[in-house]
Amino acid sequence: MIDEIRSLLKNGTWILVKRSDLQKPIGCKWIYKRKIEVTGTEKLRYKARLVAKGYSQKEGIDYNEVFSPVVKHSSIRILMALVAQMDWELHQMDVKTAFLHGGLEETIYMMQPEGFIAPGDEDKVCLLKRSLYGLKQSSRQWYLTFDEEMYRLGFRKSKFDGCVYIKYKNEVSVAWLLLYVDDMLIAGPNIEEIQCIKRQLNSVFEMKDLGCAKRILGIDIIRDRKERKLWLMQSDYIGRMLNKYQMNNSKGVSTPLSQQFKLSANQSPKTESERKEMDLIPYSNIVGSLMYTMVCTRPDLAQAMSVVSRYMSDPGKSHWQAVKWVMRYAKQSQGVGIMYGGVEDTDNNPLVGYCDSDYAANLDNRKSQSGYIFTFFGSAVSWKSGLQFVVALSTTEAEYISLTEAVKESKWLKGIISDFGIKQKSVNISCDSSGALCLAKHQVFHERSKHIDVRMHFIRDEVDKGDVKVVKISTDHNPADMLTKALPTAKFDYCLELVNVVRK
C-alpha cells in the first residue's frame, strides 16, 4: 500500500484542495491481489491498488466518453501464426500504473484514501489530475495518451485493428506491437529492432520488460523454435476454474455437448421454488468463465457455449446439466490448445475459411445455427458459432446466410494480414451446400430465393471482384461442422485435427 501511494504521488495523480459545495467527491477503496509473474520462473507477488469508486460517477459531470479499444484476439492469433511460421522474435512488456499516464478532461474530486489521510488536512479532498484506476474514462484516457506517443515515435496504426501498431523503415514493415490495455506483445524478425522499440517505450513510460512472451491474458504461450512450432493453451486457467466450481474431480467426457441434449426455453423453472433453487447455482458465472476460454483458444467450445448461453436469464435443471457436461469436457481436454507453425508447404493463400449451418436448430424460434472458422497457415485464427438473425425457409438459405457471415469476416481478416505483411489476392471459403454456392455465383433459383434480404447478395460482388472464392467441400471434411451441431466423438476429433486444435 505504501508503494502504491508513493507511485501515485510521484505521478502527481492528485492535489489536495478544499471541498467544493458544487460537486460531490467520489469515494475510493483498496484492492488486494496475489499475482503470479512469469519471468523465467514463476514468482508470487503481493499487490495493492487504490481504485476510485467509478460506479458513483455521473455522466455529463464526471465523464463523457468511455470507449477504449483493445486488440482483437484474432489479431493476436494471426501474429502467433506468423511468429511460429517465420521464426520471428516475440517479446512482452507491461506498463507500470498505465492508467496514471492518462490525463483528465473533467474535474473530479475524490475522498482521501483510507489509512493515508494527510495530517492537518483531514477536511480536504483530492482533485484528480490523472486518470486513476476505477474511473469510467481511465482506460480511454490511457489509450489516447499511448496512441499519441506511438504516433510520435513513428508507428502507424492498423486500419483494421486500432491496437495494432506497425513500425516501418523505408516503407517496409519491420516490427509490430499489439496492445491490450497495458499488456504489449512486440514481434518482428530483427531482435535489434525490438530492443530499439523497448528503449523508445522506456523513454516515455515506466515499463516492465518481461522478455520472451510466455503468458498473456491468461493464455500460455509455449514455443519450440527448433521445430518452428508454437502452442496457445489455457490449461492453468481451466484448472483454476474447475477447482473454483468444484468440478476438478468430475468424470471427463469426449465432446463439449452430447447429442442427447435438446435444450429449449420450456425447460426453464415453472415454479417459484424451482427458480429459487436455480438462483443458488452459479450458472452465469460458469458460462462466462467457459466463454472466455472459447474466445481465446478453444473453437471446440463455440457451439456448446452458443447453446447454453441462450438461457442465462432463466436457466433450468436441464440447462444446468448441459453446462456441467461442458465443464466435464473442459476437464477431459484441459491440455488442448491451438498449434501454430510447422507448415513446410506454404502457398500464396495461407488464409482459408470454412462455413456451415444447421437448419432450424433452435427449438424455440426455429432459427438456424451458423458457424465459420478461418485457418492461417493451417491453424485456427478466427471462429464463430451463433443463431442466425432471421428464420431461414430452406437449408439453402440457411447455408447462404452462413456463407455471408464468413465472407464479411474474410474481408476483415484479409485486411489485417496485409498489415502483417501478407498480401493475399483472394480468400477461399469452403461450403458444403451446392445450392448456396450457386446462389453466391449466379442469380439462380429466383422463385425460391427472391425473398432473401438483398444485403446477403453482396457475396456476388465479392466473388465478381475476385476478393473471395467460394468452393465446394464435402461435409465429411468440413471443420465448421463442429460449430453448428453436436457431433459423434470420431467426427468431432477429426474436425479439431483439421484446424490444428491438439493436445500438447
Same domain, 324 and 365: no
Same domain, 204 and 353: no
Range of the domain at 497: 345-503
- On the 0-12 / 13-18 / 19+ scale of CB atoms within 10 A, 306 is buried
Tell me whether residue 339 is in a domain. Answer: no
- Overall domain count for the chain: 3
Same domain, 279 and 367: no
Cα–Cα distances in angstroms (integers) from residue 29 to residues 115, 116, 128, 133, in the given order: 10, 11, 15, 11
Structure-derived torsion over alpha carbons of residues 283, 285, 289, 295, reported in degrees to the nearest 10? 80
pLDDT tens track, the chain, 504 positions: 998 898 888 888 999 999 888 888 999 999 999 877 655 556 788 889 999 999 988 888 888 888 888 999 999 999 999 999 999 999 999 988 888 888 888 889 999 999 899 898 888 999 999 888 899 999 999 999 999 999 998 899 999 999 999 998 888 888 999 999 889 999 999 999 999 999 999 998 888 898 999 999 989 999 998 889 999 999 999 999 999 999 988 999 999 998 888 999 998 888 889 999 999 999 999 999 999 999 999 999 999 999 999 999 899 999 999 999 999 999 999 999 999 988 776 667 899 999 999 998 888 889 999 999 999 999 999 999 999 988 988 888 899 899 999 999 999 999 999 999 898 889 999 999 888 888 877 665 555 556 565 666 677 778 888 888 889 999 999 999 999 999 999 999 999 999 999 986
Tell me whether residue 417 is in a domain. Answer: yes
Same domain, 417 and 374: yes
Tell me whether residue 259 is in a domain. Answer: yes
Same domain, 187 and 294: no
Same domain, 135 and 61: yes
| Strand pairing class (155-157; 219-224) | unpaired
Same domain, 350 and 400: yes
pTM of the model as a whole: 0.90
CA atoms within 13 A on the CB side of 223: 20
Same domain, 177 and 317: no
Same domain, 84 and 13: yes
Same domain, 60 and 202: yes
Same domain, 54 and 76: yes
Tell me whether residue 320 is in a domain. Answer: yes
Tell me whether residue 237 is in a domain. Answer: no
- Which among 273, 299, 332 is the end of a domain? 332
Same domain, 352 and 324: no
- Give the Cβ contact number of residue 466 at 10 Å: 9
